[in-house]
Structure 1
């Protein structure tokens, strides 16, 4: 179905230019996902406030944590200056003649990459291709709730489309290479893309696929890609538009010569010629000419059934995962009644405490028992989901989740998709299993973010975690500090000990 002109409306929001090599650039590639997003947030701040790449030290402290500011300085993503007559920050009441004297930062090569006021001849032009990233990307209601890694994967998908000029179309195979299943599901839920089947009416045109012989594989279309990004035409369509524009211009000139040099005829002849020139100049961006790709609006695909959802992954069996579950390091479903009671204590700690108190009163006991019943239903829903990949409606259990409404099944379904909490370790085997799991997940996350931990790092971190857990350090505190270390790419066990010492002080 051809894309109508009224459907491709212009996006009037401000944007920053994001180079297509942003994710693999030698300067930005080693940064963690959170650090990359903080760098984008600074660029967006400069574009939105028209600071020409300057950020005051006070604003930098409000936007960026201290550990990430140090990473920016080491990676030379910005440069530190003092506000003087030669280098004024021009924030607030600061002027070149009366500088404020405070510290500020300038983003590296901001004037080369972004649009800034002033003559273009005063700065070097960046000739690389770029992506338009709207200034509300980080807080937009659609992209704001996504995790940092999911946001970067979405940017990577846009970069792939811009670099390969696919106009927002991505084949199934390429989507699997770029984004893992959990991120693909998150993007589908958020409406960031839509899945379609490759048919004669809507071919993907990837590889050997043509409208006459579709490949039959599925593909995705990025939501509203043609509204926000550069729209490329195939050579045949571009040549046809050029011929059409030339024909209109020639007819306008002939009409001008035929009607004579009168003012009225001159004005009437100039209008079609200018329209023809505008049509010729806009043949690349925001065109309404069909290019053979399927439309991005969802209404055109309502009659085409989508493929059935993939079943949820079953819990793995064998090796360390079984030891972790049996030792209560990360139970998917409690295997014993004792372990079930400990998981309930993490799900509803106040209810367990009230039921253990004989002086709490009958009303508080009844309320605590109802809360404990809901926690039991959470465990049962999680077990049902892992066993079958689905949660069937059950009015008796749904009533426990929402006694005053009709969405108990929705709440139980959402609870079934979340992993159960990890109970506190008791025995030496549980402490050892939890330390192993925490160290393994931390080192693996650092490696996925581009870090290169040494070989003994995992064992050193495991030994340190086992010692801390044995000494009574709570697992929630360890998880919080490990999460903060991952944001800056740290893996050393000694750093964890230092951070805990600062918290204790």
Structure 2
């Protein structure tokens, strides 16, 4: 059903950007429909109130139940902060100089995906496709009465149209794959789409269907899709539009040249020039040949050699390739048996100690072995989740997480979402990789909160951290000191060593 460009009216309502992989994203796919809609509701709240992705703890408790708030925290959909001079929420009368001291949450990567209304800052552009979701979507008179599952299916239909650039047209066979009959009936009753029969007058143009030979199958058109979402032209119309635009541009340039020529011809003749510079200026006005603005008799007419090219700036930290190698040296999922044992030692240190003690009794050994098996299952669940973006139900493994109830699957899902502890570095490469990651996270966190560390600060901090790790300082001690430094906005490498020296003294 082609629509002329003049028939597409602009939708002036506010909107949020919803990524096309929202429903199957590794972070949001395991969530229930109600949880996904609550996450959308928080984004809509931030867009409506222009909070730049911040939600006060009071408002979060009003909008989101406790169990869903825990899911958001585990899935890292938001981050918890305390309102201080370094991280002020600026809600109500709160200012950086006089913080309110209350808790608040910041939505994860909100500045990358949504429109910001504050002063221009370092904003990273999100290059994924998106569809526009109106801020009144949840309480609109058409979509408000729908169930959460039906609302998500409606979003899924819009995402299908945006991905496949169908301009809001969905074949009946595809609609049956996406939505069950009861949801299709609900969308029809709500007027969210209209059913059509594929004929020569209204061809669906799916597959081998053409206006001359319609397939005869039914199809649906999403209501007002072209008013709200991006409209894609077919190749023929796009080529014709490009030719029309080029023709108009060429005519406009020709008219502009004619007007310039007529204005140049109408300029009155100037008086005789009294010097060479004036004569040169009159020649520039009355000729179309480009003349240099350098004075006559100057050696500057001779062609000068171009300056040698400047050497490319040396990338900091050795460039992206070195950073990738450092990150690969200590991955989150242990790839070797030795690294797996170190992760287990941080997950269940008491169990490892009991199993290593030959004097411990048989009962303590059995309890420690059960705890170690549960830690092994955590690593396996995390590995499966990162590899497949899902953790299927496994009754045998679920018993390890909850031997006395039926919530083992939910607890294993939560364990799969939680990152594993970083194993203690042993080799020089692992220590260098940990120093790089700690320095990067520390400097980036200060920059996100308004700090402006100097250019060499990251490399200096990395070298200092590597030296401290080589001298035997534990990573947990370094993380604690770096967190305390971030609270005061410090990033200097020398301050870290001073703090550690004072703590030891």
- Normalized against structure 1, the TM-score is what? 0.52
- Asked whether 1:52 is paired with 2:80, we answer no
Inter-partner Cα distance in structure 2 for 1:59 and 1:108: 17
The correspondence of residues 413-492 of structure 1 with structure 2, limited to 5 A, is: 452-453=392-393
Inter-partner Cα distance in structure 2 for 1:202 and 1:87: 57
Matching residue of 2:216? 216
Matching residue of 2:249? 249
Q: Quick one: higher RCO (CA 8 Å, sep 6+), 1 or 2?
A: 1
Change (3 A) 1:489 1:143: farther
Inter-partner Cα distance in structure 2 for 1:453 and 1:24: 18
TM-fit CA distance, 1:235: 1.8
Matching residue of 1:353? none
Matching residue of 1:32? 32
User: Is the contact between residue 46 and residue 52 of structure 1 (CA under 8 Å) also seen in structure 2?
Assistant: yes
TM-fit CA distance, 1:211: 1.2
The correspondence of residues 142-153 of structure 1 with structure 2, limited to 5 A, is: 142-153=142-153
The correspondence of residues 366-445 of structure 1 with structure 2, limited to 5 A, is: none
- Asked whether 1:123 is paired with 2:123, we answer yes
Tell me the alpha carbon deviations over residues 397-442 of structure 1, each in whole angstroms, 9 at most, x when there is no partner: xxxxxxxxxxxxxxxxxxxxxxxxxxxxxxxxxxxxxxxxxxxxxx
Unpaired segments ≥5 residues, structure 1 = 264-449, 458-463, 465-484, 492-505
TM-fit CA distance, 1:65: 0.7
Query: Aligned Cα RMSD in Å?
Result: 2.9
Aligned residue for 1:122, secondary structure, equals coil
Matching residue of 2:190? 190
Change (3 A) 1:175 1:451: farther
Tell me the alpha carbon deviations over residues 17-52 of structure 1, each in whole angstroms, 9 at most, x when there is no partner: 000000000000000000000000000000010000
Inter-partner Cα distance in structure 2 for 1:175 and 1:238: 28
Change (3 A) 1:214 1:152: same
Inter-partner Cα distance in structure 2 for 1:10 and 1:489: 45
Inter-partner Cα distance in structure 2 for 1:210 and 1:197: 14
Q: Report the structure number with the largest CA radius of gyration.
A: 2
User: Is the contact between residue 52 and residue 111 of structure 1 (CA under 8 Å) also seen in structure 2?
Assistant: yes
Tell me the alpha carbon deviations over residues 318-359 of structure 1, each in whole angstroms, 9 at most, x when there is no partner: xxxxxxxxxxxxxxxxxxxxxxxxxxxxxxxxxxxxxxxxxx
Matching residue of 2:10? 10
TM-fit CA distance, 1:253: 1.8
Change (3 A) 1:5 1:130: closer
Inter-partner Cα distance in structure 2 for 1:109 and 1:198: 44
Unpaired segments ≥5 residues, structure 2 = 264-389, 398-403, 413-505
User: Is the contact between residue 198 and residue 215 of structure 1 (CA under 8 Å) also seen in structure 2?
Assistant: yes
TM-fit CA distance, 1:126: 1.2
Matching residue of 1:177? 177
Inter-partner Cα distance in structure 2 for 1:261 and 1:71: 70
Matching residue of 2:80? 80
The size of the alignment, in residue pairs, is 281
- Asked whether 1:225 is paired with 2:219, we answer no
TM-fit CA distance, 1:117: 2.8
Matching residue of 2:21? 21
Inter-partner Cα distance in structure 1 for 2:131 and 2:411: 31
Matching residue of 2:160? 160
Matching residue of 1:441? none
- Normalized against structure 2, the TM-score is what? 0.52
Change (3 A) 1:102 1:121: closer
Aligned residue for 2:201, secondary structure, equals coil
TM-fit CA distance, 1:252: 1.5
Aligned residue for 2:7, secondary structure, equals coil
Aligned residue for 1:45, secondary structure, equals helix
Matching residue of 1:95? 95
Aligned residue for 1:41, secondary structure, equals helix
Inter-partner Cα distance in structure 1 for 2:209 and 2:92: 58
TM-fit CA distance, 1:166: 0.6
Tell me the alpha carbon deviations over residues 149-182 of structure 1, each in whole angstroms, 9 at most, x when there is no partner: 0000000000000001111000011000000000
